[in-house]
Chain A
Amino acid sequence: MAARGGKGWRWGGAVLGVAVLLGFPIVVSDVYLQHLAIFFLLWVTLGTSWNLLGGYAGQISFGHAAFFGMGAYTSSLLFAKLGFPPWPGMLLGGVAGILLALPMGHICFRLRGPFFALSMLALSEFLRLVTLNWRDLTEGAVGILLPPFFISKLPYYYIALALAAATMLATWFLVDSKVGFYLLAIREDQDAAEALGIDTTWYKLVALMVSAFFSAMAGSYYANYMAYIDPPIVFSIVDISIAMILVAVLGGMGTLWGPVVGALVIVTLSEAFRAYFAAAHLIVYGVLIIVVIVFMPEGIVGSLAARGPRWLRPRVATDAPGASQG
C-alpha cells in the first residue's frame, strides 16, 4: 500500500515538474529570470553529458570545452560561410563533436590512468590555438558575430529545455540498458570487465561519443543564443571544462539528478554571489567548492541519497561512488 502511494506521488511529482518547466517562461515574464533559467538548462545539459562519461563510465575529462567549442564553431561557421540555418546546424555541431571524439577515444582509451583526462585538456587547448590562428577560416580572435535569431526568449527557452531533456533521457536509457551495466563494470574494475569479455574500449567510446554529441550541441546552442563566440570563450578551461566537472561533482557523480541540482546551485549561487560579495565573489565560490568536496564528497544528491527516498539514489550504483575506490 505504502509503496503504491509512493508511486502515485512520484507520477504526480513528475507531471507537476513537467508542467512547471513548460509553463515557467509563460508565467514568469521577467527576461532576466528567463535568461538564468536558460543558463540553468544549458548547464544541466553540460553537466549531464560530462556525468555520463565521468560519473557512470569513470572516464574523467578535463577538456570537454573541446567538444563545446567544436559545436559552437561548427554551426556558427556553417551559418556565417554557407548560410546554413543555425538550428539544424546544432545537430551538425553535435555530429562534429562525435567526429572529434572518435580518434580521441581510439588513442586514449587504450591507456589507463589519467591519460585520457590529460589528453582532453591538451585537445581543448590545441583547438583553441587552432581557431585563434586559422584566421582565414575562423576570423581568429575577432570571433564570429551572428544575428540574433529570435526576439523573444521563449523559443530559446524551449530549445534549451528540449536539449536538456534529451540529454537526460539519453543518459537514462543508456544507463538502464546493458551498456550502462558494462560501463559500471568498467568503472568498478576494468580488468574484471575485460575478463568477462566486455570490449571495454568500445563501450567507453560509446559513452564518449554520446557525451561529446550533447556537449557539442550545447556549444552550438550557446553560439546561437549569445550570438557571439570567440576562441577564449568557448574553449575556456575554467569557465567550461572545469565548470562542467563542478556541476557534476557538486550535484553528485553517477546520479541522474546530480547535475540538475549542481546546475541549479551553480547558476543561482554565482548570480547571488556576484551581487552580494562583489569583488570577493570568486573567493566565496572557491570556498564553496572546498566545503562541498570536504564535507559532501559524494555531492549533494549522493549525500542526500544515503538517507533520502529511494528514487533519489544513484540509478546503477548500489553503493555510493566513493566507496568503490581503492
Chain B
Amino acid sequence: MAEGQRKGHMDLTILLQTVLAGVLVGGLYGLIGMGMAINFGVLRIINLAQGELLMVGMYVCYWVFTLWGLDPLLSPVVTIPFLFVLGVVIHRFLLTPLIRARALPENQILLTVGVGLVLTNAALLAFTSNYRTITTSYSASLITLGSIAVSLPAVLAFGIAMLVSSALWLFLMKTDLGKCIRATAQDPDAALLMGVNVERISVITFGIGAALEGAAGSLLVLVYYLFPALGGIFTLKAFIVVVLGGLGSTLGALLGGIVLGLAESLGAVFVSTGYKDAIGFIVFVLMLIFRPAGLVGKARM
C-alpha cells in the first residue's frame, strides 16, 4: 500500500517535471520560431538560414562574454543590434534584388540555403569545429519546489524569452512601424497603395527576424553549447514551430514552440526517446491535415 502510494507520487512528480521541462524548452523553441514566422508573414518565404543566424547570435554572445565578461543575460543588448544589421545586409544586398526581379520563391529559399552554408563554414574557419560552453556564476544553480528541481538558467532563459515576445507583440500592435509590418503581411499590394514603403518594410522585417535569433542565441547559450553546425537542427525546429503556429503568426509561433516542447518531452517519457523528434513531425502532419491554418486560426501576426 505504502509502496503503491510512493509510486503514484513518483509518477506525478515525473509528469510535473516533464511538463515543466517541455514548457521551458518550448519557450526557447517559440522564440526561435518567431524569427522565422515574422519573415514568413511578410516575405512569404521560409528562411532556411534561420538556424545559422541563431548560431551567429550564440557566437556573438560567447565572444562578448569571453572577451569582455558581459553576462549572457545582458548580451541581447549586443546580439540584437548585431543580428539586426546582419539581417538587413542579407536582405538588402541579396534578397531585395531577387524580389525586384520577381524571382520564384524557391530561388529565394535556395538563396537562404547558400547564406546558411556560407555562415556555417565561415564560423568553422574562424572558430574551428570545437564545442564551446559558457559557465557563469549561476550556471549550476537550481530552484527546488518540493520534489521538483529546475535549473535557474533554464527558468531565466524562459522568462526573458517571454519578455522579448511580449515586447515584439507590443511593437507590432502599438507602433506605426509595427502596423506597417502587419499591413504588409496582410496584403502587400494594398499596403503599397496606402503609401507603405513595402520594400523598406520587408528589409526591416528581415532584420527583426534575425534580431530575434540574436536574442534567442543569447538565451540558448545558457542551457546549451555552441558549435558551427548547430544551425540545421534549429532551422528544422523553427520550421515545425512556424507550421504549428499557423504560417506567419508570431503569437502562434510562441504557442507552437510550447506545444512542440511539450510533445517532445511527453513523447520521450511515454513513448520513446528515439522517437521523440518523430512525434514532433507527426503533430506537424496532423496539423497540416486538420488545421492547416495553425493553432490560432486565421489571424496573422
Contact = CB atoms under 8 A, between A and B. Distances in A.
Query: Are these two chains actual partners, yes or no?
Result: yes
A297 B107 contact: yes
Nearest to A245: B110
Interface in A186-233: none
B281 A126 contact: yes
A286 B288 CA distance: 32
A46 interface: no
Interface size class of B (residues with CB under 8 A): 35 or more
A22 interface: no
A294 B281 contact: no
Interface size classification for chain A: 35 or more
A25 interface: no
B121 A282 contact: yes
A23 interface: no
B289 interface: yes
B124 A322 contact: no
A130 B277 CA distance: 10
A115 B292 contact: yes
Contacts of A54: 106
Given A294-B98, A294-B111, A130 B278 contact: yes
A101 to B, nearest CB: 15
A151 B120 CA distance: 39
Contacts of A115: 288, 292
Interface stretch (B1-9, B75-83, B236-244, B252-260): B236-244
B16 to A, nearest CB: 27
Interface string B100-127: 0111111100110111111011101100
B206 interface: no
A322 B98 CA distance: 10
Interface string B259-301: 0000000000000101101100110110011001000000000
A119 B240 CA distance: 10
Given A54-B106, A121-B239, A283-B117, A289 B278 contact: no
Nearest to A288: B114
B157 interface: no
A240 interface: no
Given A111-B292, A118-B243, A321-B104, A125 B281 contact: yes
A282 B115 CA distance: 11
Contact of B125 (A113, A119, A279, A288): A279
B129 to A, nearest CB: 10
- The winner among B107, B122, B236, B284 for most chain A CB atoms within 10 A is B107
A107 B243 CA distance: 16
A326 interface: yes
Contacts of A294: 94, 97-98, 111
B247 interface: yes
Interface string A109-135: 001011101110111011001101100
A133 B281 contact: no
A285 B117 contact: yes
B232 interface: yes
A287 to B, nearest CB: 6
A253 to B, nearest CB: 7
A132 B275 CA distance: 9
B292 to A, nearest CB: 5
Given A289-B110, A297-B101, A321-B104, A107 B277 contact: no
B46 interface: yes
Contact of A286 (B97, B121, B275, B281): B121
A114 B247 contact: yes
Contacts of A118: 46, 239, 243, 284, 288
Contact of B281 (A111, A122, A245, A323): A122
Nearest to A61: B106
Nearest to B285: A122
A245 B106 contact: yes
B272 A325 contact: no
Contacts of B102: 322-323, 325-326
Contacts of A253: 104, 106
B97, B116, B278 interface centre (most CB from chain A within 10 Å): B278
A124 to B, nearest CB: 10
20 contacts: A60-B106, A108-B288, A114-B105, A118-B46, A119-B288, A122-B285, A125-B277, A125-B281, A126-B282, A129-B275, A130-B278, A246-B110, A246-B113, A279-B124, A283-B117, A290-B111, A290-B115, A293-B107, A297-B101, A322-B102
Closest 9 A-B residue pairs measured CB to CB? A286-B117, A289-B114, A286-B118, A129-B278, A290-B114, A133-B274, A282-B121, A297-B103, A126-B281
Interface of A: 54, 60, 107-108, 111, 113-115, 117-119, 121-123, 125-126, 129-130, 132-133, 237-238, 242, 245-246, 249, 253, 279-280, 282-283, 285-290, 293-294, 297, 321-323, 325-326
Interface of B: 46, 94, 97-98, 101-107, 110-111, 113-118, 120-122, 124-125, 232, 236, 239-240, 243, 247, 272, 274-275, 277-278, 281-282, 284-285, 288-289, 292
